[in-house]
Amino acid sequence: MSEIKTQLVVLGAGPGGYSAAFRAADLGIEAVIVDARETLGGVCLNVGCIPSKALLHVAKVIDDAKEMAAHGVTFGEPKIDLDKVRGWKDSVVSQLTKGLSGMSKMRKVKHVQGYGKFTGSNTLEVDGPDGKTVITFDNAIIAAGSEPVSLPFIPKDDARVIDSTGALEMADIPGKMLVLGGGIIGLEMGTVYRALGSQIDVVEFLDQLVPAADKDVVKIYQKFIKDKFNVMLETKVTGVEAKKDGLYVTFEGKQAPAEAVRYDKVLVAVGRRPNGKLIDAEKAGVHVDERGFINVDKQLRTNVAHIFAIGDVIGQPMLAHKAVHEGHVAAEVISGMKHYFDPKCIPSVAYTDPEMAWVGITEKEAKEQGLKVESASFPWAASGRAIASGRTEGMTKLIFDKDSHRILGGAIVGINAGEMLGEIGLAIEMGADAEDIALTIHAHPTLNESIGLAAEMYEGSITDLP
């Protein structure tokens, strides 16, 4: 058994954990980072954001090549070498995890590999491949993340039932796959497998895909993918029976097929559960709620003053960039700064085809909060760049406060929507109003131009000088 004494221990090396440890080290705090994985990067780099985007890149190139036929250029049928596709994805992940390891060494942040659990208010015990390590700390940041939710009525030990991690492994390309859950992760993986040749059904309990997103944006997305995925809304899975020749799934609800449907694989993508209950937090006196979330204040402090928590383990939205910013704040507070986490907005992006991206308030949320808002939209059917790219299905929508005309939210559907969203987020953070955005000269012809044009469409955005 080895022993380490440190100023700061960070439990979990995902985007939240490594950002916190690096910021702390930059501020002169001695930091140790603990993770069960061999590599840094957590879910996001190893089995989340990054490998999924590497595969989505492959899917996009296949789809783009097919689309070119309509513009007079025909390529042959794609030949998929799954080992090489997997190799590409793995090389992207390893490039980034190696980079993190280098940055960690440069900052003298020690990585202890193993599963960590609190044994007291200032001690953590790590069970790793090299035995046990007891870490005594002055401060701790819990960045233990989350794991996929499984459903009790679905066979667990059948390799044909997979979660997002299993889907990213790309063991094969199933002939027919059911994506159970119409959220971002399920749709992204469905996009990948469809491009590689699978037939995809998506089942969603609610009345729209990606329920948190702007409904107009989702409507356009749903229309665009109508012929690509078989989507069953307001429908739920009631059972999955594993037979030799496939998984037989029964459904109930509005669009439920009358008979059980046979699938080669079922991807369960019904959300993620925080890991708060798995770390013996109570031994450190840290309160964890019944779902596994840890409550924190605006400085990311738990109910125990020297223990902080960040990222997926503290709640929605479960997104990497939220975790990163929280990690920075927690480290800064530990170093003595009076910082706190209080963003006006956190962007969300579904890297589907087309992409859906939204930031700030949606009209539904404005209604729930009793806010008076108005919106203005610019359809991409009138965008020169969208037309020249053969992708006119998009739309850019901005949501303004009715009285002040300040921008409160925005949503985009279309190619590159995720890249475009940053401008709207910045406008919200800076308190810009419709006129500021309309008067900002956007380069022509760009898709970003549609943000300025949507603002121009908003009545009252062009005013005279006082």
Residue ranges for the known binding site for NAD(+) are 181-188, 204, 271
Q: Is 116 in the site for ligand FAD (CB under 6 A)?
A: yes
> Do 423 and 342 touch, CB atoms closer than 8 A?
no
Q: In degrees, to the nearest 5, what angle opens at C-alpha 450 toward C-alphas 54 and 224?
A: 55
Tell me, residue by residue from 25 to 44, as one string, x for binding to ligand FAD by CB under 6 A and - for no binding. Answer: ---------xxxx----xxx
Beta bridge partners of 360: 409
Of residues 12 and 246, the one with the C-beta less far from ligand FAD = 12
Q: What residue numbers does the annotated binding site for FAD cover?
A: 53, 116, 312, 318-321
| Cα–Cα dist 85/360, whole Å | 36
Look-up: residue for tokens 């708060």? 276
Q: Is 164 in the site for ligand FAD (CB under 6 A)?
A: yes
Exactly one of 6, 191, 235, 275 binds ligand FAD (CB under 6 A); which one? Answer: 275
Name the pairing type of β-strands 235-243 and 246-253. antiparallel
| Cα–Cα dist 409/303, whole Å | 33
Query: 2-40 burial, b for 16+ CB within 10 Å, e for fewer?
Result: eebebebbbbbbbbbbbbbbbbbbeeebebbbbbbbebb
> Do 119 and 37 touch, CB atoms closer than 8 A?
no
> Do 146 and 313 touch, CB atoms closer than 8 A?
yes
Contacts with 286 (C-beta within 8 Å, 6 or more apart), sequence order: 118, 142, 294, 302, 303, 304, 307, 309
Question: What is residue 415's DSSP assignment?
Answer: T
Contacts with 261 (C-beta within 8 Å, 6 or more apart), sequence order: 178, 201, 248, 249, 251
Look-up: residue for tokens 């780099």? 45
Beta bridge partners of 308: 141, 301
Q: Is 274 in the site for ligand FAD (CB under 6 A)?
A: no
Which tokens sit at 188?
Answer: 């992204």
Closest distance to ligand FAD from the beta carbon of 425 (Å): 13
Q: Is 52 in the site for ligand FAD (CB under 6 A)?
A: yes
Q: Is 181 in the site for ligand FAD (CB under 6 A)?
A: no
Query: Which among 11-19, 25-33, 204-212, 432-440 is the span making contact with ligand FAD, rule CB under 6 A?
Result: 11-19
Of residues 89 and 160, the one with the C-beta less far from ligand FAD = 89
Q: Is 166 in the site for ligand FAD (CB under 6 A)?
A: no
Tell me, residue by residue from 337 to 376, as one string, x for binding to ligand FAD by CB under 6 A and - for no binding. Answer: --------------x-------------------------
Closest distance to ligand FAD from the beta carbon of 301 (Å): 17
Question: What is residue 133's DSSP assignment?
Answer: E
Question: What is residue 71's DSSP assignment?
Answer: G
Q: Is 16 in the site for ligand FAD (CB under 6 A)?
A: yes
| Cα–Cα dist 346/350, whole Å | 14
Closest distance to ligand FAD from the beta carbon of 347 (Å): 9
Query: Which among 10-18, 202-210, 283-291, 376-384 is the span making contact with ligand FAD, rule CB under 6 A?
Result: 10-18
> Do 126 and 36 touch, CB atoms closer than 8 A?
no
Of residues 44 and 454, the one with the C-beta less far from ligand FAD = 44
Of residues 287 and 372, the one with the C-beta less far from ligand FAD = 287
Exactly one of 185, 267, 357, 415 binds ligand FAD (CB under 6 A); which one? Answer: 185
Exactly one of 100, 195, 318, 447 binds ligand FAD (CB under 6 A); which one? Answer: 318
Enzyme catalytic residues: 444
Closest distance to ligand FAD from the beta carbon of 279 (Å): 5
Closest distance to ligand FAD from the beta carbon of 144 (Å): 4
Exactly one of 144, 237, 261, 415 binds ligand FAD (CB under 6 A); which one? Answer: 144
| Cα–Cα dist 293/375, whole Å | 35
Q: Is 190 in the site for ligand FAD (CB under 6 A)?
A: no
Of residues 281 and 454, the one with the C-beta less far from ligand FAD = 281
Q: Is 143 in the site for ligand FAD (CB under 6 A)?
A: yes
Which tokens sit at 384?
Answer: 């020169």
Cα 72 to Cα 67, 69, 79, 90, 383: the distances in Å are 9, 5, 21, 34, 22
Closest distance to ligand FAD from the beta carbon of 321 (Å): 5
Exactly one of 8, 9, 10, 15 binds ligand FAD (CB under 6 A); which one? Answer: 15
Of residues 253 and 315, the one with the C-beta less far from ligand FAD = 315
| Cα–Cα dist 173/61, whole Å | 17
Q: Is 115 in the site for ligand FAD (CB under 6 A)?
A: yes
Binding residues (CB under 6 A) for ligand FAD: these are 11-17, 34-37, 42-44, 48-49, 52, 115-116, 143-146, 164, 185, 275, 278-279, 311-313, 318-321, 323, 351
